[in-house]
């Protein structure tokens, strides 16, 4: 089974001499690109900001005296022999 690919886009300067169907196809593709332009970058920004916020929260929690003593006791018990 052959895989059909869509015809390549024509360069914008040649649009004036192209048939009407080619112009419509080219313009439709350009309009479709504008709807999601930059969407991936925005998603990365949101994910990065969430990770930074979570890291900040962990730092605040782990700096507490109670948590520090729990972690210290855990390490001491893990390293003790017998």
Each residue's pLDDT tens digit, 5-57: 555 555 555 656 667 777 777 777 766 666 666 667 888 999 999 999 999 99
Give me the helices (H) in the chain, please.
Answer: 20-35, 39-62, 65-79
With 0.85 as the threshold, say if the pTM is over it.
Answer: no
CA–CA separation, 58 and 55 (whole Å): 5
Domain limits, the chain: 8-37, 39-79
- Residue 77 confidence (pLDDT) above 70: yes
CA–CA separation, 69 and 55 (whole Å): 20
Whole-number pLDDT of residue 35: 61
């Amino acid at each position: 089974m052959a895989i059909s690919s869509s015809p390549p886009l024509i360069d914008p300067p040649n649009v004036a001499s192209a048939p009407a169907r080619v112009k419509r196809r080219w313009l439709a593709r350009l309009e479709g690109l504008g709807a999601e332009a930059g969407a991936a970058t925005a998603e990365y920004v949101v994910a990065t900001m969430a990770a930074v916020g979570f890291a900040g929260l962990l730092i605040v929690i782990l700096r507490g005296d109670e948590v520090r003593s729990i972690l210290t006791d855990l390490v001491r018990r893990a390293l003790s022999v017998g």
